[in-house]
A and B are shown apart, each in its own frame.
Chain A
Amino acid sequence: MSQHRLLVAATCLLVSSVALAQDATGTLQKIKETNTISLGHRESSIPFSYYNDKQEVIGYSQELMMKAVDAIKADLKLPNLKVTLTPVTSQNRISLVQNGTVDIVCGSATNNLERQKQVAFSTTIFVIGTRLLTKKTSGIKDFADLAGKNVVVTAGTTSERLLRKLNEDKKMDMSIISAKDHGESFLTLETGRAVAFMMDDALLAGQVANSKHPEEWAIVGKPMSNEAYGCMMRKDDPQFKKIVDDTFAKLMTSGEAAKIYAKWFMAPVPPKGLNLNFPMSDDMIEAYKHPNDMAFP
């Protein structure tokens, strides 16, 4: 009996010390020990992170993330570092970073204060404005024209909050539809259930590029907010974050990031070879000039 107890106690001690040892070591240590880095990506965030027709992950964020992987390879002297790719959604990405399934996720995640309590954000890789997508013939020019109309947003986005708040503050009597993902939001707009779709302008441009009749659609309105996109990593891991941040900062200040930007936003991109024609905004130019990891207020 007492021997049993001793065994149990010893096992507990062993397990907890192993757990402690894992806690104490950072992501870099884990990468070194396993010779593997685990990346999270999106499946359809065009042109940030998505599959091409060969089921390879491509996009602006993905390309930046691979640059960070190169830097880690060089830093840890692991030329044969194994890279595993895991698709994530906007609902599970935070949990998967926290529980160690993925070490870093670069997609289209907004850096905000609530999320900073759970995960760390890299240097800002993109700045968007929240605007409206509507049919050119709809007569909608700005947010004020939405009074009394049906408007769609994607559930779980900052746009959803802003739109609901605007509706209450200004008593605009809009009917707000929260669709599951951007594709469904666009479908809701396309089938006439809503007159406008509010979302991050770069993602709206992606939806238009992917639509059947790109020429029918227009992105309108003064941006209601600006948001900073960053890559998500585990909190309290300064070594790992530093390599990623430094990599991005170097790309941005050297002008290399601008080339990557042009490749994804100013030139034809898969799957349909359409050009998003989405020139860099002033905020974006500023973010490249002074790389930082701050959330927009």
Chain B
Amino acid sequence: MNYHWNWAIFLTETPSGSTTYMGWMLSGLEVTLALSLSAWIIALLVGGLMGVLRTVPNRWLSGIATVYVEIFRNTPLLVQLFIWYFVLPELLPTAMGDAIKSLNPFLQQFLAAMVCLALFTGARVCEQVRSGINSLAVGQKSAGLALGLTLPQTYRYVILPMAIRIILPPLTSEFLNIFKNSAVASTIGLLELAAQGRQLVDYTAQPYESFIAVTVMFMVINTVVMILMHKVEARVRVPGGGH
């Protein structure tokens, strides 16, 4: 097939003249990192809290957490994003919806994508926290309570320190997923890495260079995350846990 390769395209100035195409890719990379990391922090907080609630002996609290998980884990990510971005402002009272819609478009897109990714990933984190807690021998909780600790104290000092260390490997893969999933934000117009790659194709008609560059950048992000997480896993490994 006669394709006209041109790797120098990345050093070429964009039509608006203020930067090169490489500059576009890097600004996309920044948005991807900012979006994924902020969503990940929220996902950990929400997922951690909901995961604990899933296991507490209170039907109402565990019910709330179950509903959350079922809603956010069982609907497609893309649909959730469209609901946050397009549908939510129409459902709110008109004044509030209009206020959202008159915000800076970048901010609207970023916030919608962040909340969407955070709650979607949070539901998955929640299930892992729950399975981590459930994987501990029942005796650990009983022992904590028998020592005179309250239930929250038992969670804080006995159950969670063990559970978190056990679920670190699957959490790493969720962490990797959130970067990859963040590419859905390009569908609402957020100029993250995938969108910048697509924009580069539109402007230069060089699809292969662009898609290869996007692929490499995602792989670099995820390789770095994997190395860091392996270090963390090695440090906090449960001694004698056999992991």
Contact = CB atoms under 8 A, between A and B. Distances in A.
A98 B205 contact: no
Interface residues of A, number: 34
Interface string A5-30: 00000000000000000010000000
Interface string B178-207: 000000001111010001001101111111
A179 B16 CA distance: 19
Nearest to A95: B207
Given A165-B15, A165-B16, A155 B202 contact: yes
B89 interface: yes
A165 B208 CA distance: 26
Contacts of B13: none
Contacts of A168: 16-18
Given A98-B1, A155-B195, A156-B202, A176 B86 contact: no
| Secondary structure call for the A interface | mixed
Contacts of B108: 193
B1, B15, B90 pick with most chain A CB within 10 angstroms:
B1
A115 interface: yes
Interface string B1-43: 1111000000000011110000000000000000000000000
A74 B218 CA distance: 50
Given A95-B207, A150-B105, A193-B101, A118 B86 contact: no
A179 B82 CA distance: 12
Contacts of B203: 114, 161
A180 B187 contact: yes
A177 B202 contact: no
Given A91-B201, A117-B205, A177 B90 contact: no
Contact of B205 (A99, A115, A160, A236): A115
Nearest to B186: A180
Contacts of B101: 191-193
B104 interface: yes
B201 A178 contact: no
A193 B18 contact: no
A100 interface: yes
Contact of A178 (B89, B189, B205): B189
Interface residues of B, number: 34
Contacts of B18: 168
Nearest to A150: B105
A235 interface: yes
B95 to A, nearest CB: 13
A167 B189 CA distance: 18
B104 A175 contact: yes
Interface string A168-197: 100000011111100000010001110000
Contacts of A179: 188-189
A196 to B, nearest CB: 13
A91 B127 CA distance: 37
Nearest to B189: A178
Contacts of B206: 118
B1, B98, B202, B204, most chain A CB atoms within 10 A: B202
A157 interface: yes
Interface in B83-101: 86, 89-90, 98, 101
A164 B195 contact: no
A99 B1 contact: yes
B9 to A, nearest CB: 10
Contact of A191 (B86, B186, B189): B86
Interface of A: 23, 90-91, 94-95, 98-100, 114-115, 117-118, 150, 155-157, 160-161, 164-165, 168, 175-180, 187, 191-193, 234-236
Closest 5 pairs between A and B when the two form their complex, measured CB to CB: A156-B202, A177-B105, A114-B205, A178-B189, A115-B205
11 contacts: A90-B202, A117-B4, A118-B3, A160-B202, A161-B15, A161-B203, A165-B16, A178-B191, A180-B187, A191-B101, A193-B108
Interface of B: 1-4, 15-18, 86, 89-90, 98, 101-102, 104-106, 108, 186-189, 191, 195, 198-199, 201-208
